[in-house]
Amino acid sequence: MRVLIAGGGTAGHINPALSIADKIKKENPNAEILFVGAKGKMETRLVPQAGYKIETINVQGFQRKMSLKNVGRNIQAAFHAVTSGFECSNIIKRFNPDIAIGTGGYVCGPVLRKASKLGIPVLIHESNAYPGMTVRMLAKDCDAVLIAEKEARKHLPPSAKVIVTGNPLRAEFLNVDRESARRELGLDGRPVVLSFGGSLGARRINEAMTEVLVRSFKEGTLQHIHATGSSGYKDVVAKLEEHGITGENSSIRVREYINDMARCMAAADLVISRCGAMTLSELPAAGKPAILIPSPNVAENHQYHNAMALVNKGAAVCIEEKDLTPDLLWREIKRITSSPETMRKMGENARRAAILDATDRIYEIILKTLRDRGYNFK
């Protein structure tokens, strides 16, 4: 089996692609897998680290806000839209894949479009509740569109073949329990609040959480693990130190990054986060109630749609960034953590929303797609 995988730009597109690749290699050790990414993007680093080959093309998205700078960028994007087709054609003809799979990002557009024109079976996976422009444009040319949330179906063309699969999850989120995680982290019996805004951080979340941590330190009823991201760590630590909260305090733990997210999420009783697609799949898998703060700086406000998918299931509350204040955040934290029944119900609702076998579902669809096209893979 020869599989071409295109996806990148963000970890939310790359991680599902890697999970799918891992599943294919597990079931078919002799399978040949080639990734296609955009030059200079994070997939050129993460994919080789995971042990897979990658080739790159020149491609970039069009800017929707009009400015002199963006006009120049759009001219360059239009040029790459033409040249990337030739690059994709060369890669596809050289690799000769049996199937092409996309997981989102601008790079998917030219790769999957060219594969489809060459008669190669094509699948695309959408991790968000609101499909990105690339997925919406390609949907009618794909053998199937695989979606993480059923809410995404209404935003896709009626003619598209749409299958709900969920998002592929890293194995560690399925194999860790609360008590062992708390023991390993040295946490006691008080409720644990885990908060983060992403690898780069989120200024508004950091600002609100800093005041929350000060109040919580004085009250002493909660434990916190807060990740600031790379841009906010020094400021948050300095402000906490002004109130006598230092790294020696075991109840208030501030990190720059969380490298053991599965363990921290398993230990938590409440999670505060942005609304990236993978986080919102990990929360149900872990069965955790959440306070979700969508980023307003994303395409088509997709993080808000992601958040509402869990809010409508009774598993989370949503605070839009324009409404975010330390007072409101503190009230919501206290309301949820002071009621074991509320946490239990929200956690159960989250768990009911979980799809834990997404990679298995996707793999079976890959096999069925190939069989329907006359291939005979087990």
Whether residue 361 is found in the same domain as residue 333: no
pLDDT at 8: 86
Positive or negative, the CA dihedral 14, 19, 22, 23 is negative
* β-pair type (223-227, 252-255): parallel
In the prediction, which pLDDT does 364 show? 97
Please check whether residue 135 is in contact with residue 13, taking contact to mean a CB–CB distance below 8 angstroms.
no
- Please tell me whether residues 306 and 180 are part of one structural domain: yes
Q: Is the pLDDT confidence value at 134 over 80?
A: yes
Does some domain include residue 298? yes
Q: By CB neighbour count within 10 A (0-12 exposed, 13-18 middle, 19+ buried), where does 44 fall?
A: middle
Q: How far is CA 208 from CA 204, 205, 301, 321, 322, in A?
A: 6, 5, 22, 10, 12
Position 94: which residue type?
R
User: What is the Cα–Cα distance from 304 to 1, expressed in whole angstroms?
Assistant: 38
CATH number for 329: 3.40.50.2000
User: What's the pLDDT at 100?
Assistant: 98
25-34: Cβ within 8 A, 24+ apart: 27/363, 28/1, 28/377, 30/1, 31/1, 31/2, 31/3, 32/1, 32/2, 32/3, 33/2, 33/3, 33/4, 33/5, 34/2, 34/3, 34/4, 34/5, 34/91, 34/95, 34/97
Residues 124 and 247 in one domain: no
Tell whether 155 and 285 lie within a shared domain.
Answer: no
> What band does 172 get if pLDDT is binned at 50, 70 and 90?
confident
pLDDT per residue as tens digits for the range 285-340: 999 999 999 999 887 788 999 999 999 999 999 999 999 999 999 999 999 999 99
d(CA 357, CA 331): 36
Q: Which amino acid is at 123?
A: L
Is 249 part of any domain?
Answer: yes
| Structure tokens, 41 | 């993007």
- Do both 21 and 68 map to the same domain? yes
CA–CA separation, 310 and 289 (whole Å): 9
Residue 305 inside a domain? The answer is: yes
Q: Per the domain annotation, does 360 fall within a domain? A: yes
| Token code pair at residue 295 | 């980023």
Considering the domain architecture, whether residues 277 and 324 belong to the same structural domain is answered as yes
Are 181 and 89 contained in the same domain? no
Domain contains 367: yes
Residues 224 and 338 in one domain: yes
Q: How many domains would you assign to the chain? A: 2
Determine the straight-line distance between the first and last CA of the chain, rounded to whole angstroms: 10
Together in a domain, 330 and 276 = yes
| Domain identity same for 177 and 97 | no
> pTM for the whole thing?
0.83
Distances in Å between the Cα of 299 and the Cα atoms of 56, 63, 231, 302 are 23, 10, 22, 6
Residues 20 and 158 in one domain: yes
**What per-residue confidence (pLDDT) applies to 67?**
61
Residue owning tokens 């029944």: 341
Question: Which tokens is 45 given?
Answer: 């680093």
Residue 378 is assigned to a structural domain of this protein = no
Do 142 and 243 lie in a common domain? no
* 33 bridge partner residues: 3
Q: Is 50 exceeded by the pLDDT of residue 80? A: no
Domain assignment of residue 377, yes or no = no
The token pair that represents 149 in the structure block: 């949330």
The H or E element spanning position 241 is: helix 233-241
Helix axes 326-337, 340-352, angle to 10 degrees: 90
* Mean per-residue pLDDT, 196-217: 90
123 forms beta bridges with: 101, 144
142 in any annotated domain: yes
Q: Which residue range forms the structural domain that includes residue 301?
A: 172-352
pLDDT digits (tens, 9 = 90+) for 334-376: 999 999 999 999 999 999 999 999 999 999 999 999 999 888 7
Q: How far apart are alpha carbons 34 and 13 in whole angstroms? A: 16
What's the longest Cα–Cα distance across the chain? 68
